[in-house]
A and B are shown apart, each in its own frame.
Chain A
Amino acid sequence: MARTHGKDADFAFDSVAIEDELSSATLNFTVPEADITSFSDSWQNFLAGKPTATLDVSGFADLASSQGDVTIFGELGLEGEEWDFEPDGTTGYNGFAIVTSYSITSTVGGPITYSASFRHNGGSAAADGAAPTRA
């Protein structure tokens, strides 16, 4: 019954490691539910559809060259790049994803922070429709 601290998570997008900027990373898997409930069913009845995965990250902005800001902003609207998320820093998931949102916030009393969201769209290439790899 191992429990694992999140302090050593690794996250990379477009081959740029940004765990040195992030303080939170979430990988979300969802599966659409197709309702097949018929009159004769006692309980609601469902079939699973095609899964999808999204990633939400947040942290502290690093505006320097080759870091998170230039990498994520530069991928807005493009076909998808590699992502790699290792929740414990060793084992995790990877694939290809497009950037779906990116927000930078400056407040006068704190660090510049950012959040970004990604949509998985490929296993071994962008838009190949394949599952993420768990490695």
Chain B
Amino acid sequence: MARVHGQATNLSFNGVAIEDELNSVTMNATVAEADITAFGDAYQNFLAGKKNISFDVSGSLDMDFASDGDATIFDHISLISGPKTLVFDPDGAGPDTNSPEYTCTSSGLTGAICSNYTLSLDVGGVASYTASFQCSGATTRAVS
């Protein structure tokens, strides 16, 4: 009955670790429902379709270097270079038996596409950003 704090989460996009900027990460997995209800069914009936995974992240804006989040994410929006590898390690200790690491690996049409990037600058607060990534193809769960 392990419960895990989120304080050590790791996330990288295109090989750039950005957990030093982020304060929230959500992985969303959805499955399309195909309705197969027939007259003889007592209840509505469904089959699972293809899986889909996306990520939503938010944090503090780091514009310093080409290897930081802003340059990495913005470059991916503006360059047509194909999907990139995204790695999400919820507890920051994986991959290990009790510490999975989720990876969408760049290969051909597979990988993570940045689908949204928003910068927010408030005169009274920290510069922050949010980004969303759509995984194309498989996302794997590794435990070793």
Contact = CB atoms under 8 A, between A and B. Distances in A.
**A, B co-complexed:** yes
B44 A50 contact: yes
Contacts of B5: 110-112
A64 B47 contact: no
Contacts of B25: 105-106
Given A63-B91, A70-B141, A131-B43, A106 B3 contact: no
A103 B27 contact: yes
Contact of B100 (A70, A80, A121): A70
A88 interface: no
B38 interface: yes
Interface string B38-67: 101111111111110000000000000000
Interface size class of A (residues with CB under 8 A): 35 or more
Interface residues of B, number: 43
Contact of A63 (B23, B27, B41, B98): B98
B139 to A, nearest CB: 9
Contacts, number: 152
A127 B141 CA distance: 27
A128 to B, nearest CB: 8
B6 A107 contact: yes
B143 interface: yes
A107 B24 contact: yes
Contacts of A123: 42-43
15 contacts: A21-B3, A60-B3, A67-B2, A69-B100, A74-B141, A77-B51, A80-B48, A103-B26, A104-B26, A106-B6, A106-B25, A109-B23, A127-B45, A127-B47, A128-B45
Interface of A: 20-21, 50-53, 60-65, 67, 69-70, 73-74, 76-80, 98-113, 119-123, 127-132
Interface of B: 1-7, 9, 22-31, 33, 36-38, 40-51, 90-91, 94, 97-100, 141, 143
